[in-house]
């Protein structure tokens, strides 16, 4: 009987060891699959962002060619920056996503960014629309007209 119990114990130990080994292998496979899924998700998000950026750029080009390009408060700060290289400078003069000090999120709509920074929306829209209208596809707008100091020193 003792031999029978000893044999059963050895079989149980072998089965336990084998199960633990299989469990470890399965855990390694799950970890590997999770890494693959994470990488695929990250790649998919990057591609979606790139496609969205390209679509927005093409939409703007179509509007520009049709002569109906108009910046509105519903556009995001990033979309506006894509329209003209100096748009960021205009936004910076109003502390709406163009300067390092304001730290505005590019995915925020212009109207929200202006409200968050307590800036009136109309002057910003006027300057941005003038910038886009003046450029008419070229980027030769005078930087001196756009660059305004964000800091006023009292002497």
Q: Residue 62: its pLDDT value, please?
A: 86
The residue ranges of every structural domain in the chain are 71-146
Contact 134, 77 (CB under 8 A): no
Q: Residue 60: its pLDDT value, please?
A: 78
Q: With a cut of 70, which residues of the chain have pLDDT below it?
A: 98-104, 135-155
Contact 82, 140 (CB under 8 A): no
Q: Residue 20: its pLDDT value, please?
A: 95
What topology is assigned to 71-146 in CATH? SP0561-like (1.10.3910)
User: Is residue 63 within a helix (H) or strand (E), and if so which, with residue range?
Assistant: helix 2-66
**Spatial separation of the C-alpha atoms in residues 129 and 132, rounded to whole Å:** 5
Q: Residue 78: its pLDDT value, please?
A: 85
Contact 27, 21 (CB under 8 A): no
pTM of the model: 0.54
Contact 126, 92 (CB under 8 A): no
Long-range contacts from 120-123, C-beta under 8 angstroms, 24+ separation:
121/73, 123/94
């Amino acid at each position: 009987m003792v031999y029978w119990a000893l044999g059963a114990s050895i079989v149980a130990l072998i089965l336990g060891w084998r199960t633990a080994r299989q469990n470890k292998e399965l855990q390694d496979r799950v970890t590997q699959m999770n890494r693959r899924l994470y990488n695929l998700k990250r790649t998919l998000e990057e591609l979606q962002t790139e496609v969205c950026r390209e679509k927005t750029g093409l939409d703007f080009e179509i509007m520009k060619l049709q002569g109906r390009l108009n910046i509105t408060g519903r556009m995001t700060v990033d979309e506006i920056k894509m329209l003209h290289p100096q748009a960021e400078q205009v936004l910076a003069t109003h502390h709406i996503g163009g300067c390092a000090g304001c730290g505005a999120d590019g995915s925020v709509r212009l109207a929200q960014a202006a409200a968050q920074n307590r800036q009136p929306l109309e002057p910003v829209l006027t300057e941005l629309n003038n910038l886009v209208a003046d450029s008419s596809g070229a980027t030769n707008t005078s930087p001196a007209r756009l660059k305004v100091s964000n800091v006023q020193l009292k002497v």
